[in-house]
Each structure stands twice: as C-alpha cells, then as structure tokens.
Structure 1
Amino acid sequence: MRNHRSHYLGGEEKARIEIIPMIDIMMFLLVFFMLATLKMIQGTGIKLDLPQSSTAEQLQQTVKVSIGVTKNDQLYLDAKEITPEALSAHLQGLVHDSKKVDVAIAGDEGTSYKNIVKVMDLVRAAGISSVALATNPTT
C-alpha cells in the first residue's frame, strides 16, 4: 500500500512545455510577414479607386542606373556588359522616357581616372546631371 501511495504523492512526471515546435512556428510566421511586407511596400497594400481629373499630371519617376567600370576598360550596366555606344543610347532613351535619371558609377580600384571621366562624359552627354561615384565606407 505504501508503494501505491508514493506513486500519487511525488512519483509522477511533471508536465513539460515543448518550445522547439513553437520556435519553428514563430520563424515561419516571421518569414511570412517579412515577405508579405516586402510585397506591400510598392503598392502600399491598399487598393483604391482614385477619382479622375482632367488636369492631372503624371508624377516624375526617378530611374536609378548603376554603371561599373573595370580595370580592363569594360563597362557594365546593371551587371551586364555593354559597349560605350550602347550605354549612351540606353541613357538617352531613359532621359527621353522619364526625364529624371540618377547614375552611380562604380569604378574598380585599379581603374584609371581617364576611364571614369570617359564614362562621366557619356552620362553628361546623355543629358544626366545627377552622377555619383560609388565607394566603400572606411572602417
């Protein structure tokens, strides 16, 4: 009788809360909401039927372009190799379409100053005045 009673008094196993499945679910929710938020940023996530106006003007959109210059005088437009003539034609087309183009020129560390100036001349000849040189911050 004594053994039977000790089983009820303190020999039973305590309830445990398993947190590993809960962590898995929380990580899944975090990833889900991050992806959903990324999709909502562009369109603000709200569908609206806007009123019509006969005097409305379209907002000017800014186009951001990245041009890379290597040590070997190769040009890259948004990570695709391009010739100087094709680059000039592409930039002029962007200026004609959107009127506001921001250009960032990323030159390889060993690239000569002359090559960077050539690319800047191509950009300015296309009618773009917003030019920046990309660098890495010092640590």
Structure 2
Amino acid sequence: MSRKKHMHEEQEADVDMTPMLDIVFILLIFFIVTTSFIKEEGLLINRPKAKNNPSQVNSPTVVVQIAETGQLKFNGKLVDIERLSARIESFLSENQTNSAVVIADPEASHEMVVNVIDRIKPFQQLTISIGK
C-alpha cells in the first residue's frame, strides 16, 4: 500500500502549465491591440525659403571669424572686439548687405562668441548666421 500512496503523491505534484501560457498569450494580444503608437515630434524648425534674387547672391557679407585664442578677424583682417562695431558700421556704409556670418573655432570660448553676436545685434538689417 505504501507504493500506491507514493505514486499518488507524485501525480499530484505535477503542475499543468498550459492554462498559464494561454493567459499570458491572451494578455500579450490584449496589450498589443490596445497600445496606441504615437509619433513623437522633435523640434519644429521653420527654415527660410530660398529667394532667387541675383542681386543678393553676389552681395558682400559681413564675416567675423573667432580663433581659438580669441582673436577676431573681420572679413579676413584682424580686429579688436571694441572696434568690431565701428568696422561693421563702415562696411555697411560702403556695401549693401543683409547677412552676417560668425565663424567660431570649436575651441573658442562661448563668452567670446556671445560678445561678437551682441556687437552685431544692434545692426537690425543684418541677419546673423553661425558657420563652421
């Protein structure tokens, strides 16, 4: 009789995994069906449209280069930060332009770049761009 009792205990200890797998698959299907996929957008950038104005294509541009050491070049000539506004003013009196490009060395200080942009800002006819 002890043999029958021992075999009977082994059969009871066996767990059927089929119903649990069925429930897991039903839950998986439920979550797949009910999930809503939303397309996330990043920054919205309003890029300006290109203008086909041939007179502006060849017009001279105000170019300010900032070296790693903090030296400034205005259209290829060395200039001091205090004299930059005067140079821009004299350049604009001689030339018709509406664009200024600031080209900073990657190792240049951010403070210097901001100072240069602040010197260009008072000239409201200029559109300031950052170049490489």
What is the TM-score of this pair, normalised by structure 2?
0.49
The structure with the larger Rg is 2
